[in-house]
A and B are shown apart, each in its own frame.
Chain A
Amino acid sequence: MTAQADVRQHPSGSTDGAEAKDPHPTPSTPAEPSSGTGWTEVCPLEKLQPERGVCALVGGEPVAVFRTHDDRLFALHNVDPFSNASVLSRGVVGDLGGTPVVASPLYKQHFALESGQALEDETVRVATYPVRVVNGTVEVGA
């Protein structure tokens, strides 16, 4: 599994979880090729339905990618630490106290999309990944 310490860092050029509103944005910095530089293609942005996740294989690891209603993008490791099943991408997305979260489909703990932090247990956190959109394609960095 990816190191737990990696808490969402945004390399320059990534969307920083922000302006993905244009489904075909022109990236502010020239897109780097998606292979061999730490970025993996996930899917076209329009395939990513708001508030419903998908799972991608990123460097051999399952990663859940979410798009919130305000078109921000987030990526978390897909394995739910409470059940050890690779399922977080299939949880319900919403917010709790204003924080965007995904609920584990198995035992319903909530994970903050921004930090991977489990709201029900402060000692549990899942790894997060940077996300960006390049030429209309969502990419996750590892």
Chain B
Amino acid sequence: MNPRTVVVVGHGMVGHRFVESLRRLDTEDAWKVVVLAEENRPAYDRVALSSYVGDASAEDLTLDEHSDPLVELHLDEPVTGMDLAARTVRTAKGRDVAYDELVIATGSVPFVPPVPGRDLDNVFVYRTLDDLDGLRAAAETAIANAGAGRRAGVVVGGGLLGLEAANALRQLGLSPHVVEMAPRLMPVQVDEGGGALLQRLVSDLGLRVHTGVSTSSIAPDHRGGLTVTLSDDTELDASVVVFSAGIRPADSLAREVGLEVGERGGVLVDDRCRTSAEHVWAIGEVAAVKGRTYGLVAPGYAMAEVVAERLTGGDGRFSEADMSTKLKLLGVDVASFGDAHAASPGALEVTLNDPVAGTYSKLVVSDDATTLLGGILVGDASNYETLRGFLGENLPGDPMSLIAPAGDGAVGVGVDALPDGAQICSCNAVTKGALVAAITSGEATTVPQLKACTRAGTTCGSCVPTLGKVLASCGVEVSKSLCEHFSQSRAELYEIVMATGLRTFSEIVGQYGTGRGCDICKPAVASMLATLAGGHVLDGESATLQDTNDHFLANMQRNGTYSVVPRLPGGEVTPEGLIAIGSVAKDFGLYTKITGGQRIDMFGARVDDLPKIWRRLVDAGFESGHAYGKSLRTVKSCVGTDWCRYGVQDSVGLAVALELRYRGLRSPHKLKSGVSGCARECAEARSKDFGIIATETGWNLYLGGNGGFTPRHAELIASDLDTTTLVRTIDRFLMFYIRTADRLQRTAPWMESLEGGIDHLRDVIMSDSLGICTSLDEQMARHVEGYADEWAAVLEDPEKLERFTSFVNAPGTPDPTIEFVDHLGRRVPAGMKDGQPTDLAALGLGGVPITDGARIPMGAPA
């Protein structure tokens, strides 16, 4: 049998899901799918759109490719008309495509109110990756052109998406205004009490909120920017304007051919997603199921399943959709679920408003207070996933006790208490029962496996922490033991060492481990002892624990020689310093290279020469750069206000101060930092473990960035901090990381593994939610006080110096296995390494003409 053809109009999230479901259910290959898509890229995760201005790339957001030969995807080829009688659609390329069944999945278009000036340049909507590319380019131009003046952006609309857009503006370096016509933000989701608190919380984050006013006009100003005038005659200067004033179903094609539409728009369908015409279906945001449209992805997915089922002989029906929502960004928790506004007859509200703690919670329950109907959480939505699981179910306790803060007679709600039918992932309709089945059948023993086999947590991601709890409640434990000698995780061992005051490895392994340790646990314990006890890394037994790099205070290279890196705080170096480094390198035959962290690395030092090299460096005023340690490496900086015409703060001064403060701090892995003098970010601070970007009024602090193997942009934890608060926050971040990370876990994966992510971290180090800040502060103070240059100390100590010899029984005899050769003009170890090119041709540069200095055609006519 030849497959019949189903044509899908639109390759958004729902169109994509429909294709996947149909191919999965159509085991007999009865259907061929032709997708006609308006956008020039395949479907992507629109729900996560905002992460595109942050860490995510377009590839990260792209949904799984359809790998089935029965699927044809035509990008950049929108449908321009339909002929229901002939059963064809016409595309923008003038093609007619015949269908047996037609599925309309055109989604929505942003609604732009008829404000004068809405067509000007730098006025955007917020719906597609292209929109965000445009917004980003405009923000960058605005920042580049505006000198040191403050650049603002205006978001029209203070709903869920408007707040996301405002956050995006902030991440792009603009200060956002939000204009909302209703008297409060997120009017659909929250009530008056929640709205008031929400406004306070987002204002604290630097959003300027204007409620109860509308936008009257947008006009160009004389400096290339825009002036936005509000209905109360307020004028706002803005570089960009973003409309986020709601969406309208993209139903124009359907209207043209006379398909019935809902009262408030949308292609009218029944609960089987059938339109008023035969063989035509509508799903997703464009569909008005029994007259009602849904602006969320979960109901759209449910509609996709219904049609896929019906085309393969099933009888799916769309039922009431869960309209729960949660604000994903901004670091302000807002969630609403179920009947949040208590519209059900007889519904009761239980409210807890704590302005001091900054939390507002409301539960809506049935008239007998036993069944949960809905709720609103602002300020702390950590119970959202579990509470939502109880929607329509009997509550496990008195409603007040469920929202009371911990310790106040709160019972809290654990996943254990949830019924099997409770939906954990509402985007993909995955119940607790389905998760438990996947776990008990052995299919999934980790969160990533659970996501892969059930799809839970793969759309908006808000249920991911709950997935971990479900795993734990099923008794699945992931082994965290450090190595065969310690069953404890690094964090547990750190606590033990901290609490017991044990100060030698022998005691620690004797009382809490087995055997004699290894190259995993010894350096790990050495690092813990360094931050807990201090002292020189080569003192006593401590010397035996160090990795070779720490042991010789230099970095071993592939031929057994070492590289030497003196500290250049903030990347600053004097001419005298450069000359000293140069003469040392020359006298000891070292290859020199500028590092990515703004210092100078000298390669090829023999172990015997290290003390002589350091004698000269210390005499010239240098100290150890700790390039060898799992410790602070560098704080890179741009020149900031000293030299740069854009700089708004002294980035060099701060970088030097931070590098001197944290130098020598031993940590689970290396630590890198950077300070930029303005939002142009020349120091690439957001790729660092802690990065600081200057603002007019202070510093923005970003945490958990990484270059290297898995790049990750650091996340903003707080804006416009004064220097004291900034330093205190970094102190606590570093110490909390040192106490709780796994061995060799950089801050980026550590932050990803933190339950509650950056919000949790902010609670711990800025609001002291765990009550440990004093102890973190004290520990850092001890580090700063106890710092001494490791190399200077070695040079003073004949016993430590004795280690620096190639042969104990023949001091002074050079190691004959070490040789250097001149290779392509560079001094390198003798002995080729795999992958090392033999000549420029082997490097692939043979055919490229290389101009040498003398032949650079200077001033030659073009």
Contact = CB atoms under 8 A, between A and B. Distances in A.
The answer on A and B forming one complex is yes
Interface of A: 40-43, 47, 49-52, 54-57, 62, 65, 68-69, 79, 83-87, 90-98, 100-101, 103, 105-106, 108, 110
A96 B558 CA distance: 25
A65 B809 CA distance: 11
A142 to B, nearest CB: 12
Given A49-B543, A86-B560, A94 B813 contact: no
Contacts of B484: 96-97
B516 A95 contact: yes
B518 A57 contact: no
Contacts of B810: 56-57
A92 B815 contact: no
Contacts of A83: 558-560
Nearest to B509: A94
A42 B815 contact: no
A82 B675 CA distance: 40
A85 B560 contact: yes
B622 interface: no
A100 B817 CA distance: 27
A94 B808 contact: no
A40 B809 contact: yes
Contacts of A62: 806-807, 815, 817
A101 B519 CA distance: 10
- Chain B, interface residues (CB within 8 Å), range: 35 or more
Interface in B788-827: 802, 806-810, 813, 815, 817-818
Contacts of A52: 543-544, 551
B796 to A, nearest CB: 19
Contact of B518 (A50, A54, A101): A101
23 contacts: A47-B802, A49-B544, A54-B808, A55-B806, A55-B808, A62-B807, A79-B817, A83-B558, A85-B558, A87-B560, A90-B552, A92-B522, A92-B523, A92-B545, A92-B547, A94-B517, A95-B515, A95-B516, A95-B517, A95-B518, A97-B484, A105-B556, A106-B558
B831 interface: yes
A69 B510 CA distance: 12
Contact of B516 (A43, A51, A54, A90): A51
Interface string B502-520: 0000100000000111110
B548 A56 contact: no
Nearest to B523: A92
A83 B806 CA distance: 18
Given A49-B543, A100-B516, A106-B556, 15 more contacts: A42-B809, A51-B544, A57-B807, A65-B808, A79-B817, A85-B560, A85-B817, A87-B548, A91-B548, A95-B515, A95-B516, A95-B518, A103-B518, A106-B560, A108-B519
Contact of A94 (B518, B547, B549, B559): B518
Contacts of B551: 52, 90
Given A55-B807, A57-B809, A86-B817, A94 B516 contact: yes
Contacts of B518: 92, 94-96, 101, 103, 110
Residue from A90, A92, A101 with most neighbouring chain B CB atoms (10 Å): A92
Nearest to A50: B544
Residue among B558, B802, B808 having the largest count of chain A Cβ atoms under 10 Å: B808
B162 to A, nearest CB: 52
Contact of B807 (A56, A93, A96, A103): A56
B808 A47 contact: yes
Nearest to A137: B809
A85 B552 CA distance: 16
Contacts of B521: 94
Nearest to B546: A92
Contact of A85 (B485, B559, B806, B808): B559
Contacts of B809: 40-43, 56-57
- The B contact surface, by secondary structure, is loop
Nearest to A55: B807
A69 B516 contact: yes
B544 A93 contact: yes
A31 to B, nearest CB: 17
Contacts of A98: 515
A128 B246 CA distance: 77
Nearest to A86: B817
A42 B808 contact: yes
Interface string B705-723: 0000000000000000000
A91 B543 CA distance: 12
Nearest to A99: B515
Contacts of A92: 518-519, 522-523, 544-548
Nearest to B799: A47
A94 to B, nearest CB: 4
A86 B518 CA distance: 21
Nearest to B818: A86
Contacts of B806: 55, 62
Nearest to B545: A92
A86 B1 CA distance: 71
Contacts of B522: 92, 94
Contacts of A51: 516, 544
B548 A57 contact: no
Contacts of A97: 484
A90 B808 contact: no
Nearest to A103: B519
Interface in B746-772: none
A62 B546 CA distance: 22
A101 B522 CA distance: 13
A83 B829 CA distance: 12
B556 A87 contact: yes
A57 B831 CA distance: 22
Interface string B522-554: 110000000000000000000111111101100
B485, B549, B806, most chain A CB atoms within 10 A = B806
A28 to B, nearest CB: 24
Nearest to B802: A47
Contacts of A68: 516
A43 B506 CA distance: 25
Q: Give the top 4 A-B pairs by smallest Cβ distance, nearest first.
A: A105-B548, A103-B519, A85-B560, A94-B518
A19 to B, nearest CB: 19
A72 B472 CA distance: 45
A135 to B, nearest CB: 15
A87 B815 CA distance: 11
A22 to B, nearest CB: 20
Contacts of B547: 92, 105
A90 B558 contact: no
Give the one of A85, A91, A93, A110 with max B CB within 10 A. A85
Contacts of B802: 47
Which of B517, B558, B807, B815 is packed against the most chain A CB atoms within 10 Å? B807
A86 B815 contact: yes
Given A43-B808, A62-B815, A86-B560, A94 B552 contact: no
Contacts of A101: 518
Contacts of A56: 807-810
A102 to B, nearest CB: 9
B562 to A, nearest CB: 10
B283 to A, nearest CB: 54
A86 B817 CA distance: 7
Contacts of A54: 808
A54 to B, nearest CB: 4
Nearest to B831: A84
B763 to A, nearest CB: 38
Contacts of B519: 91-92, 94, 103, 108, 110
B596 to A, nearest CB: 22
Of the listed residues B546, B556, B802, B809, the one surrounded by the most CB atoms of chain A closer than 10 A to its CB is B809
A37 B521 CA distance: 41
A120 B523 CA distance: 21
B278 to A, nearest CB: 68
Nearest to B829: A85
A75 to B, nearest CB: 12
Contacts of B560: 83, 85-87, 106
